[in-house]
Every structure is written in structure tokens, then in C-alpha cells.
Amino acid sequence: MSDTIPVLEVRDLFKSYHALEVLKGVSLTAPKGHVITLIGSSGSGKSTLLRCINLLENSQSGDILFEGDAVRWKGRDAVRRPADPDQVTAMRTNLSMVFQQFNLWSHMTILQNVMEAPLTVLKRDRTETEAAARKYLNQVGIGDKCDAWPAELSGGQQQRAAIARALCMEPRALLFDEPTSALDPELEQEVIRVIKALAAEGRTMIIVTHDMNLARDVSDHVIFLHLGRVEEQGPPDSVFGAPKSERLRQFLSAGHAE
């Protein structure tokens, strides 16, 4: 892929749940190696946008492009669905998502959790996959927990295992949906250190977060969503240092900037 073609692009996306409009014409671009952070109050549409990008939710109109290739749709409005299952599979395997609630399989060891998707979805060689899984578990700082069960790990360790699992798919981009909000402050810092290290590597990431310090530190571009629309966006110095929108100023002054 040419570096001039964004890994992800969203154009004028609309999403409703019956009469409730959640996204009202949202657009974003994630160039290769860039970190795009979505901020905003609860209910602003951040997580819904992430789920639409990964095709876990179906949007009613607008375009989603992965490496320049637009999602092909069938149907319109409320019955719009992706038309090509192979395209959906290709996108999901290249856009690894890290959820708020870890989603580790309790009946598998940490190593098995990290290996499962590359083995079953991508049909990779078991020996190579195990080596990669151990490498990524070491990278996130829990290489010594390979044989542990998820229940034996702290929340911060489980989230780092989830990040290693996402990395083991060798994705084009990582999608983080509030990766630290289920953690207490001490464990939150463990995960933040990993995300900052991934940003320093030049990984393409889209991050939904309530942590304004994280957004300020790792982002190339910050998008403030309000009531389903992009209220303001720009580099972190501009968004946090000189907000133009009164709604963004109110959001930051309400304690979100600490």
C-alpha cells in the first residue's frame, strides 16, 4: 500500500438506532503510522463510530474505506449491509480491536488466547504463531504469564494480554475502545505505557478514550465528538491548548483535562 493512501477513511457516516441518531455525518482519516484519538462525553458516538469502522455495527449511509478500498454495500438505510463477506473478513483481520472489557477466553491460558485467532482465522503455522505470541506478550510486559489463566491476572495484565492478542494478528491498524476505563488508576498506567510504546513504534491507531493526558501525549490528530457530530478537530496542541468551540471548552473545563 502506498503511504499516501490512508489506512482508514470514513466519509459522512450516519448511524441510527430506530429514531435515535447516534452519528450524524462523521468523517475521519487515519494515515499510515498516525494515532487518531476520539474524545467526547458519553453518548457522543465515539464507540459506535469505532464499531461501525470495524463493521461490528452497520451504518445507514456514508463510506468506509480500508487502504483505499471502499466497503461495498447492499440495501439502503436501515437494511444496509456489507455486500461482500470476504471483504468484511479481510477488514476485521486487519483492524484488530481492543475492547474495554478484555474479552479473554476464560478456559484458555494467556498464550492460547493470543494464539487462537491467528491459528483459526488466518491458518498460520503453530510454531511461528507461538513464537510471535510469546514475543508480543514480552513486548507488553507479561511474558512470564503465558501459562496463567485470565482469572489469575489483574485487570491491567488482562488488558495487556488483549493488546498482545490484537498485535499477534499483525494488523494494519489497532482500534482501542476505552482501553483503560475499566481499570483503577494504578493498573491504568500499565496499559497507557504499552499504548505509548506502540505509538512510538509508528503503529496506526484509532483510540476512543476518556483520558485526556493519553490523548494529548500520543495523538497526531484529536477529534472531539458532540451529539454525533465532529464539533472540533486538530493536532493535540490546538485542541487542548486553544480550543475554538465553546462546547469543547466546557468539556475540558468540566474536569476532562486533568
pLDDT given at position 1: 53
* pLDDT confidence bin for 195, thresholds 50/70/90: very high
Output the average pLDDT for the chain: 94
Percent of the chain with pLDDT over 70: 97
pTM for the whole structure = 0.94
pLDDT at position 254: 85
- Asked which of 74-78, 136-140, 219-223, 235-239 is least confident by mean pLDDT, the reply is 74-78
pLDDT at position 169 = 96
pLDDT digits (tens, 9 = 90+) for 78-96: 899 999 999 999 999 999 9
Do 104 and 161 meet the contact criterion of CB atoms below 8 Å apart? yes
The pLDDT of residue 257 is 45
What count of Cα atoms within 13 Å lies in the side-chain half-sphere of residue 108? 15
Q: Which of 81, 105, 225, 89 is nearest to 153 (CA)?
A: 105
Q: Which domains does the chain have, with CATH numbers?
A: 8-104+171-256 (3.40.50.300)
Residues 63-79 have a mean pLDDT of 95
H/E element holding 21?
strand 20-30
Confidence of residue 235 (pLDDT cuts 50, 70, 90): very high
Question: Using CA atoms, how far apart are residues 32 and 53, in angstroms rounded to an integer?
Answer: 16
Question: Does the pLDDT of residue 258 top 60, yes or no?
Answer: no
Q: Are 54 and 175 in contact (CB under 8 A)?
A: yes
Residue 256 predicted with pLDDT over 80 = no
Q: Which of 73, 4, 15, 8 is nearest to 229 (CA)?
A: 15
What pLDDT is recorded for position 101?
87
**Contact 212/39 with Cβ under 8 angstroms?**
yes
Torsion from C-alpha of 40, 43, 46, 49, nearest 10 degrees: -150
Q: How far from 31 is each of 25, 157, 230, CA to CA, in Å?
A: 20, 30, 18
pLDDT in tens, 114-152: 999 999 999 999 999 999 999 999 999 999 999 999 999
